[in-house]
Amino acid sequence: MRHFLTINDLSKEELHELLEDAITMKQEVKDGIPHPHLAGQTLGMIFEKSSTRTRVSFEVGMYQLGGHALFLSANDIQLGRGETVADTAKVMSRYVDGMMIRTFGHAKIEEFAANATVPIINGLTNEHHPTQVLADLMTIKEHKGELKGLKVAFIGDGNNNMTHSLIQGAVNADMSIIVASPKGYEPDQDIVDEAATEGSVSFTYDPKEAVKDADIIITDVWASMGDEAEIETRLQTFKDYQVNSDLVDYAQRDYLFLHCLPAHRGEEVTADIIDGPHSVVFDEAENRLHAQKALLKKLLKK
């Protein structure tokens, strides 16, 4: 029984195989070839935060795999009224074949996983968003062919879920990653130190330095879910970290732009970039479906 709480829960080889399988199953969908690997199985999904892509892609993915997904808003189940995480995990494990959870602190999903007897998948915590990064890697692979040796630049909030999972995903896929953030928003040092033992991870306060010769430019919202009270301050703090036409001039001519979405045009990215020819954000959103199906198959298939 395997959980998927961070990108590091897959080995480099497993990550590579999973991306290949995702690309194969994507083609099977396009060719109308059914692949009911999880016939009769159920995925429970607990959401403590909003979602469009994660909810829909997991639900559709389970359906395409011949199974079923159950959407559970934390407000509607007893967890929201104080039933313990441990009891919820033990009870849910008696009904479903796997669980996806979107919550706030990462410790909560770790506690859930420690008490569950079925695989637990992280659908986003404050600290990690690993299923998004599976889709990001798949998208880069589709467009660039090979991940190895590419330079990834992440511009924006270095201390959020996307940055941490991208750092882990980049080094595990043999890409280099550089993060540019304002003071006070540096990535978690433990995550950086651990990733640095596997590959090239660096940090700068200068977004131009980060983007210089980059093959891949990635950004994310300046205020993540849970940071709403800080929006005004963050708009000021991050204003020099916008991905716009001046900044992308420093990148490789054939750079790709990625954003996990939802996006705020005019804040972290300008419309001409996210809606422009280098942007692959809608392939990236689609690939949530295919990459997660490969993950579900790997973790749940009997």
Establish whether 197 is an annotated binding residue: no
Site string for ligand NVA, 38-77 (x = CB under 6 A): ----------------------------------------
Distance from C-alpha of 210 to C-alpha of 181, rounded to nearest angstrom: 10
Residue 219 known to bind ligand: no
Question: Count of residues binding ligand NVA (CB under 6 A)?
Answer: 10
CA–CA distance, 13 with 104 (Å, rounded to integer): 30
Question: Considering the rule CB under 6 A, would residue 261 count as an interface residue with ligand CP?
Answer: yes
Q: Is 143 a catalytic residue?
A: no
Query: Does residue 131 belong to the site contacting ligand NVA (CB under 6 A)?
Result: no
Considering only 41, 103, 126, 132, the residue that binds ligand CP (CB under 6 A) is 132
Is residue 128 close enough to count as binding ligand CP by CB under 6 A? no
Sequence-separated contacts (24+) of 70-78 with Cβ below 8 Å: 70/42, 70/43, 70/44, 70/45, 70/96, 71/45, 71/47, 72/44, 72/45, 72/46, 72/47, 73/47, 74/46, 74/47, 74/48, 74/103, 77/46
The binder of ligand NVA chosen from 62, 99, 155, 162 (CB under 6 A)? 162
Q: Does residue 260 touch ligand CP according to CB under 6 A?
A: yes
- Rule CB under 6 A: which of 52-111 touch ligand CP? 52-54
Q: Using CB distances below 5 to 8 A depending on partner kind, what does residue 64 bind out of ligand CP, ligand NVA, none?
A: none
* Residue among 168, 215, 220, 242 flagged as catalytic: 220
Q: Is 102 a catalytic residue?
A: yes
Helix (H, G, I), strand (E, B) or coil at 257: strand
Q: Does the protein bind ligand NVA through residue 6 (CB under 6 A)?
A: no
- The annotation status of 2 as a binding-site residue, yes or no, is no
> Which residue in the block uniquely carries the two structure tokens 């979602």?
51
Q: Is 260 in the site for ligand NVA (CB under 6 A)?
A: yes
Give dist(CA 92, CA 95) in Å, integer.
Answer: 5
Is 52 part of any known ligand binding site? yes
Residue 235's CB: how many other CB atoms inside 10 A?
Answer: 13
Distance of alpha carbon 296 from alpha carbon 298, whole angstroms: 5
E strand or H helix at 30? helix 12-30
What residues are designated binding site for L-ornithine?
Answer: 161, 220, 224-225
| Residues with active-site annotation | 102, 129, 132, 220, 260, 288
What residues are designated binding site?
Answer: 51-54, 78, 102, 129-132, 161, 220, 224-225, 260-261, 288
